């Protein structure tokens, strides 16, 4: 499989180069030259296959000859090595829980897959040691830290805004050690991101260190997200109509992966892009004009993205045809007040505790179902509610206990390197 740049100003590359470099030299996102069809046998047998077999079959055409089959098999098995249960939230809604991985959020699968690919490339062939540089508002950093821990040939540097991530999120960033360094920036997430962006554009730094990014711009983090939709389908009742799928969206990697799985033949119904107050995509579907904005802080903070990178990939998937896109995809905007109301309703009526991101998806789905009554719905529950204690306390009047998966982090000492919002200081550190 070759990947071309969406800006068409640099040559196509294979999976290895796309993964190691992250973004094309012309600044474009990489996109696969062909959308592979899932083999008919795979779809027929899907319900009886193991998750790792599904993962291998879905990912193999995208990876091509870049990774030996037995290694890819191991990488796939390790990437999906936890549960993805489909649970009911009332009679018309099912939630696919994507938060049973090590950092309790859905980014674990992509981060684990990508880290193992980079580790493989560091050990096979002439890839130089790589530094993964990433800014986080919370979940990305934890998933990347956990996914890359101990991977040889890869060093990880994470910038996070001091005092602006939740306690569990901070523990996930700062207690692992080894090849993971957390830079605690006395600024906002936007400051962290601006520092990282500048580092990627610094030619002097590039001569010193091979930098790559680990957000969903990277094909090795983006493409494995298709697997969630396959896992949902494995558990979907055989005779039931295809589900309407509501995806809580920020940078739009997850939703784009779902549309890709559908284009490959997975029988899913209509898609809903469920957004918080950051709504350039809903506005685009309404008006036909795409206007990036500064991010607005909300309760569903992992979706506070004002200029979603992966939307360009969605447009490519639909040949930049807005009319076609509108038939496949709706979009909705959910306020913080409605997010809290949805957490309360789902809890009181169905005994199910949503996190703020899942609650945005739930609200958008229920509104769609009010217009389309016969449609059974699927939401992606992308994070464990325990990661958002303030919002949960607002609804329940109490906090909920930490799951065992993160409890062990409690007793480990925090290690972070303080950093001012000063590019020269970051550069000095990296040099
Ligand atoms: C990252 C994230 C999202 C948004 O996913 P995108 O692929 O960026 O649209 C939603 N929910 C949670 C919990 C996340 O961490």
Ligand 1 lined by 218 (C-beta under 6 Å):
no
Ligand 1 lined by 24 (C-beta under 6 Å):
no
Atom of ligand 1 nearest to the CA of 256: 7
- Let me know how many helices (H) and strands (E) the chain has, helices first: 20, 13
**Tokens standing for 358?**
């899942």
Let me know if residue 76 belongs to a domain. no
What average pLDDT does the structure give for the chain? 93
Pairing of strands 30-32, 154-161: unpaired
Greater model confidence, 288 or 216: 288
189 in Cβ contact with 431 (< 8 Å): no
Measure 303 CA to ligand 1 centroid, in angstroms: 6
Let me know if residue 363 belongs to a domain. yes
Phi first, then psi, for residue 415 (nearest 5°) are: -130, 120
Cβ neighbours for 52, distance < 8 A, ≥ 6 positions apart: 73, 76, 77, 80, 81
Q: Name the band, by pLDDT with cuts 50, 70 and 90, for residue 175.
A: very high
291 in Cβ contact with 353 (< 8 Å): no
139 in Cβ contact with 302 (< 8 Å): yes
**Tokens standing for 419?**
């950093």
What are the distances in angstroms from CA 221 to CA 170, 185, 283, 340?
22, 25, 27, 30
Measure 257 CA to ligand 1 centroid, in angstroms: 12
Q: Whose CA is nearest to atom 1 of ligand 1?
A: 302
Phi first, then psi, for residue 50 (nearest 5°) are: -70, 160
Ligand 1 lined by 383 (C-beta under 6 Å):
yes
DSSP-derived 3-state class of residue 136: coil
Rounded Cα–Cα distance for residues 391 and 177 (Å): 30
Lowest mean pLDDT among 56-60, 134-138, 185-189, 191-195: 134-138
Which range of residues forms the domain containing residue 261?
Answer: 83-105+222-401
Residue-by-residue DSSP string for 267-326 = ----EEEEE-S--HHHHHHHHS----------SSGGG--SS-TTHHHHHHHTTT-HHHHH
Chain segment 186-243, per-residue pLDDT in tens: 998 888 988 998 998 899 998 999 999 888 889 999 999 999 999 999 999 988 999 9
Measure 126 CA to ligand 1 centroid, in angstroms: 33
Let me know if residue 373 belongs to a domain. yes
Chain segment 228-280, per-residue pLDDT in tens: 999 999 999 988 999 999 999 999 999 999 999 999 999 999 999 999 999 99
Rounded Cα–Cα distance for residues 277 and 280 (Å): 9
Atom of ligand 1 nearest to the CA of 252: 9
Measure 144 CA to ligand 1 centroid, in angstroms: 14
Let me know if residue 59 belongs to a domain. no
Let me know if residue 4 belongs to a domain. no
Ligand 1 lined by 142 (C-beta under 6 Å):
no
- Cα three-residue angle 241-55-50, rounded to 5 degrees: 75
Kindly tell me if the per-residue pLDDT of 333 is higher than 90: yes
Let me know if residue 30 belongs to a domain. no
DSSP-derived 3-state class of residue 247: strand
380 in Cβ contact with 248 (< 8 Å): yes
Please say whether the dihedral angle defined by the alpha carbons of residues 214, 217, 220 and 225, taken in this order, is positive or negative: positive
Let me know if residue 416 belongs to a domain. no
Residue whose CB lies within 8 A of the most ligand 1 atoms, among 172, 246, 248, 295, for a mutation test: 248
Q: Report percent pLDDT > 90 for the chain.
A: 75
Q: How many domains are there within the chain?
A: 1
Ligand 1 lined by 105 (C-beta under 6 Å):
yes
Atom of ligand 1 nearest to the CA of 382: 13
Measure 354 CA to ligand 1 centroid, in angstroms: 15
Ligand 1 lined by 136 (C-beta under 6 Å):
no
Cβ neighbours for 192, distance < 8 A, ≥ 6 positions apart: 135, 136, 159, 160, 161, 185
Q: Name the band, by pLDDT with cuts 50, 70 and 90, for residue 370.
A: very high
At 365, which CATH number?
3.40.50.1100
Residue whose CB lies within 8 A of the most ligand 1 atoms, among 99, 135, 139, for a mutation test: 139
247 in Cβ contact with 380 (< 8 Å): yes
Atom of ligand 1 nearest to the CA of 225: 7
What pTM was computed for the model? 0.94
Rounded Cα–Cα distance for residues 144 and 169 (Å): 12
Residue-by-residue DSSP string for 204-240 = HHHHH-EEE--STTSHHHHGGGHHHHHHHHHHS-TTS
Q: In terms of Cα–Cα distance, which of 72, 87, 161, 137 is closest to 418?
A: 161
- Cα three-residue angle 179-180-183, rounded to 5 degrees: 140
Let me know if residue 125 belongs to a domain. no
Rounded Cα–Cα distance for residues 106 and 351 (Å): 22
- Cα three-residue angle 153-157-162, rounded to 5 degrees: 160
144 in Cβ contact with 158 (< 8 Å): yes
Task: Give the DSSP letter of residue 10.
Answer: S
Chain segment 380-423, per-residue pLDDT in tens: 999 999 988 889 998 989 888 888 777 777 788 999 999 999 99
Give residue 102's Cα distance to chain centre: 14
**Residue 418: beta bridge partners?**
184
Ligand 1 lined by 217 (C-beta under 6 Å):
no
Q: Name the band, by pLDDT with cuts 50, 70 and 90, for residue 118.
A: very high
**Tokens standing for 44?**
């027929």
Atom of ligand 1 nearest to the CA of 358: 11
């Amino acid at each position: 499989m070759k990947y071309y740049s969406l800006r068409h100003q640099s040559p196509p590359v294979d999976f290895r180069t796309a993964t190691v470099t992250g973004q094309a030299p012309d600044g474009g996102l990489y996109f696969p030259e062909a959308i592979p069809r899932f083999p008919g046998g795979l779809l027929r047998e899907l319900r009886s296959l193991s998750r790792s077999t599904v993962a291998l079959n879905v990912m193999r055409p995208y990876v091509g000859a870049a990774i030996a089959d037995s290694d890819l098999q191991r990488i796939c098995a390790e990437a999906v090595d936890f549960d993805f249960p489909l649970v009911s939230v009332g009679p018309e809604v099912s939630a696919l829980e994507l938060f049973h991985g090590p950092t309790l959020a859905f980014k674990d699968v992509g981060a684990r897959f990508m880290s193992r690919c980079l580790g493989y490339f560091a050990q096979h062939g002439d890839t130089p040691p790589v530094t993964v540089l990433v800014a986080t508002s919370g979940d990305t950093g934890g998933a990347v830290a956990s996914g890359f821990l101990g991977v040889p040939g890869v060093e990880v540097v994470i910038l996070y805004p001091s005092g602006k991530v939740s306690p569990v999120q901070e523990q996930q960033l700062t207690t692992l050690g080894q090849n993971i360094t957390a830079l605690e920036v006395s600024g906002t997430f936007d400051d962290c991101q601006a520092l990282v962006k500048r580092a990627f554009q610094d030619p002097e730094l590039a001569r010193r260190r091979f930098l790559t990014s680990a957000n969903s711009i990277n094909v090795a983090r983006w493409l494995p997200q298709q697997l969630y939709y396959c896992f949902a389908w494995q558990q979907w009742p055989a005779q039931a109509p295809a589900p309407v799928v509501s995806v809580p969206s920020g940078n739009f990697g997850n939703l784009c992966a779902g549309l890709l799985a559908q284009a490959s033949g997975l029988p899913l119904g209509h898609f809903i892009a469920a957004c918080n107050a950051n709504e350039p995509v809903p506005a685009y579907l309404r008006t036909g004009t795409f206007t990036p904005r500064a991010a607005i802080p909300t309760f569903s903070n992992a979706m506070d993205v004002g200029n979603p990178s992966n939307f360009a990939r969605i447009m490519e998937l639909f040949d930049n045809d807005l009319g076609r896109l509108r038939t496949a995809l709706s979009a909705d905007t959910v306020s913080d007040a409605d997010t809290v109301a949805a957490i309360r309703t789902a809890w009181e009526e169905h005994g199910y505790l949503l996190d703020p991101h899942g609650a945005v998806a739930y609200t958008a789905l229920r509104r769609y179902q009010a217009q389309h009554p016969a449609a059974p719905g699927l939401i992606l529950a992308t994070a464990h509610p325990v990661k958002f204690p303030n919002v949960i306390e607002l609804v329940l009047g109490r906090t909920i206990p930490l799951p065992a998966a993160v409890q062990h982090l409690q007793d480990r000492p925090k290690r972070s390197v303080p950093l001012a919002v000063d590019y020269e200081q970051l550069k000095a550190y990296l040099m």
